[in-house]
Structure 1
Amino acid sequence: MVIFAAKREPNSGKIHVTSPGPGPWVNGSIQAATWRSDDPELPQDKSVIVETYQSLPDNDKLILSLGQVKYTAAQKQFEITNDYPKNGVFYVLVSVADDLSTFGTSSYFTIAQN
């Protein structure tokens, strides 16, 4: 099943996704999504959903859902697999699980052409 998500603004301003960097990353490499917040009102006991998306012109395609982790974990590792098309542009989305309007996105990253 392919899941598409509507385009979003780059950031709600509450969560800052600081990695992964731009790459290009090679198939089989382990990357880390990391995040932080400057918002003192963001409860530290919240869970966040971590996902990777392919950026497309109209709607973005969900590539990998990394599940929920506590916000305070501040990182989640993932592997670059064949699920990432080689000619794509991707990003990580971190959203508060019970308030999807609170989110942050990483900068775009690419996959090496092997």
Structure 2
Amino acid sequence: MLAVMRLRVPVGEAEAFRERAERVLAALAGERGYRWARLGRAVDDCGLWVITSEWDGAGAWRRAVSAFAVRLELTPLMVYAVDEPGAFEVLFAQDGVAGAVRRASDLA
């Protein structure tokens, strides 16, 4: 499962936001079902940020964001969140390690 959270951050708050977001990623990394996470900022809009992460499934993601250590770091960032869907099922993956991977739900 791929989790995508876009955040609109005022330019003057960028450094404090980045520090907090890095702590969120560290907290997420300690949760079961975690695969990886990234923090990025839009090239053409320095006020638009994204946190992406991959999980073993939707249940792992939901349990992770419910964990106290994660909520403690994540909650203050939610004021910046763009209100839109953020959980996505991975149907196809292409990378340099595993090659192309198709998920079973593609066939449903």
| TM-score, length basis structure 2 | 0.31
Could you say which structure has the higher helix fraction? 2
Greater Rg over alpha carbons, structure: 2
